[in-house]
Amino acid sequence: MSIPTSFIDQLLDQTDIVDVVGRRIPLNKKGANFWCQCPFHDDSNPSMAVNQDKQFFYCFVCQESGNAIHFIRRYENLEFVDAIETLASAAGMSVPYENNRLEKSKPSGLVEKAVKFYQGNLNEKIAPKAVEYLKDRKITGATAKKFNIGYAQDKWDGLLNHFGSDIPSKELDESGLFSRKDDRFYDRFRGRVIFPIRNIKGDFIAMGGRIIDEGEPKYLNSPETSFFNKSNELFGLYEVKEREKNIASLIVVEGYMDVIGLYEHGIKNAVATLGTAVTPNHVSKIMRYTNKIFFAFDGDLAGGKAAWKAVENTFPIIREDINIHFVFFDQGHDPDSYINEHGLKAFQKLLDESISLSSYFLSKVKEFNLETLEGRAQAAAFAIPLVNKINNSVIKEVYASEVSKLCGMDIKTMDVPSSPEIRKAASDNAIRSSSNIPVRVKAVINIFSALLAFPAIAHESVFDELKDDPKFNFLFVILDLYRDMPNIKPSRVIESLESEQIKGYFSEAVVAGLELSEKNAFKLVNDCMDILLKNKKDREQTLKDKYNVRSITPAERRDLQQIILKKQEITDDDRNWLKKLSSKQD
């Protein structure tokens, strides 16, 4: 089922974002925007602008932005369809659902059928060993039922025969349930206990299987399909959300058995990644449902690495209102084995004693020998790139100042933009203190401003020189939209963008609402393009310098070749470079 886009347009037309936000948070009009305290971070100033003209909101601190649908989804923690329902009922409209069998992300019904089939296999008669395995792990029948645990018999065609011959090969292929050799399909899962994976709506989208007898691999997951992307999904999240409307906290663990083992002992808020490290997508998904997160990885080397990866992937999206903690186990223990051995109280004590993200990070900095100058320099070199990953200016400031204290040097002067004025700037109804923004980013934001003021600029040929550069694909996505629909609403442009960062830049341009004359808008675009193209030239020179000192990587070498080949005119010098770059020896 899906909702026609024409209805969504109509709904947005009949909804006033000032009304939607204003009914939930007090708004004050100041200049072109309404202002309020941002509900998406711990805000003490009015940092969020709501623009009635553009039907759009933007927070200057945490950079959350979007249209009324996005606001309501984030504010009330709703799925897209529920957000539409909420707004539609406020506008007195009813949502016309349509059956759309071609919808790409619609999960295959075959996965659900397979789950039922495998569940039916899980009994003493068909699967004595699987039942014994679960009993050994102290999993009761009720818990097995709750997680729809099943068993795939050790046969090549158990599921295939169950499905019969009516199902088109394409559908079998796309379900992820079968492997294929030549033109024949085989059951992917054989001789395994099956742990079904659901998306946040509760649809079965994939499964994991743990082998019962000897064999490799021990754990096997469904491959990625059009409806299952493992770096987005979390095992157990649906089950937590089903039970708790407002989720107080979530515990992120490594395996489905950890989730299930903890559940059995009364810890019912664990979720697991699916054979991958924690990705930024995972973290932002978790942050949508709770603001208290525990990472509880295995007490071994891999678990330690996983915890550190979580730090790296959390930094770019961390906000002040999010509490992140780490739980560490003794060598050889994982959450499931720990709670089995020590019980619920001991596990809860571990949660109480868990260490915060900042303490964990700073403990790593303290591992360097801070008594010596060399050690402090190494510590700074380790910490600066990580601190630079933090986008939230307030948190970045705090981390930078802590690292500076430990290393005995002001790391803020070392490429960590300091931003004491940020909060003031936000409350002053001003755009981010412009000296903190790299000139290239400013150029991109200015191009957006010019486009917003004069969409016809999208037809200018001046942009063509960036066309071959994949880094600027986003620009052409936006230009195409304005070429096709000069009156497109900014909120629709934002929805078409993939990168959160670019969404942020575009949002800044929208809320800044730069007043430009047509002449100045064209001039601005030309100036900004000069800046972006100069940057490309700088890149060419940097790569040539690297070549000369023999530190160029193969990828950079190809990059340099491409830069030269794409020039409109190739000089003798360029030809020499091409010759050098294509010869095997340096």
Q: Which residues bind Zn ion (CB under 5 A)?
A: 38, 40-41, 59, 61-62
The closest of 322, 293, 331 to 310, measured between CA atoms, is 293
Paired tokens of 446:
């200015």
On whether the CB atoms of residues 62 and 291 are closer than 8 A, the answer is: no
State the minimum distance, in angstroms, from the CB of residue 513 to Zn ion: 19
On whether the CB atoms of residues 255 and 219 are closer than 8 A, the answer is: yes
Pairs from 82-85 (Cβ < 8 Å, separation ≥ 24):
84/3, 84/8, 84/11
Of 34 and 151, the one with the shorter C-beta distance to Zn ion is 34
Distance separating the N- and C-terminal Cα atoms of the chain: 60
State the minimum distance, in angstroms, from the CB of residue 59 to Zn ion: 3
Of 72 and 152, the one with the shorter C-beta distance to Zn ion is 72
State the minimum distance, in angstroms, from the CB of residue 13 to Zn ion: 27
Of 71 and 474, the one with the shorter C-beta distance to Zn ion is 71
State the minimum distance, in angstroms, from the CB of residue 454 to Zn ion: 30
Paired tokens of 375:
């050690």
State the minimum distance, in angstroms, from the CB of residue 60 to Zn ion: 8
State the minimum distance, in angstroms, from the CB of residue 47 to Zn ion: 6
Backbone angles phi, psi at 191, to 5 degrees: 65, 35
Of 38 and 479, the one with the shorter C-beta distance to Zn ion is 38
Of 61 and 395, the one with the shorter C-beta distance to Zn ion is 61
The closest of 238, 276, 265 to 335, measured between CA atoms, is 265
Strand-by-strand arrangement of the 56-59 sheet = 28-30, 33-36, 48-51, 56-59, 65-66
Of 244 and 321, the one with the shorter C-beta distance to Zn ion is 321
Of 33 and 354, the one with the shorter C-beta distance to Zn ion is 33
Of 175 and 419, the one with the shorter C-beta distance to Zn ion is 419
On whether the CB atoms of residues 274 and 233 are closer than 8 A, the answer is: yes
Backbone angles phi, psi at 555, to 5 degrees: -65, -40
State the minimum distance, in angstroms, from the CB of residue 2 to Zn ion: 31
CA 270 to CA 256: how far, in whole Å? 9
CA 419 to CA 403: how far, in whole Å? 16
CA 373 to CA 468: how far, in whole Å? 46
State the minimum distance, in angstroms, from the CB of residue 3 to Zn ion: 28
Judged on CB neighbours under 10 Å (0-12, 13-18, 19+), 144 is buried
State the minimum distance, in angstroms, from the CB of residue 500 to Zn ion: 14
Q: Max alpha carbon distance in the chain (Å)?
A: 81
Of 30 and 440, the one with the shorter C-beta distance to Zn ion is 30
Exposure on the CB side of residue 269, measured as CA atoms within 13 A = 17
Cis peptide before 217 (omega within 30 of 0): yes
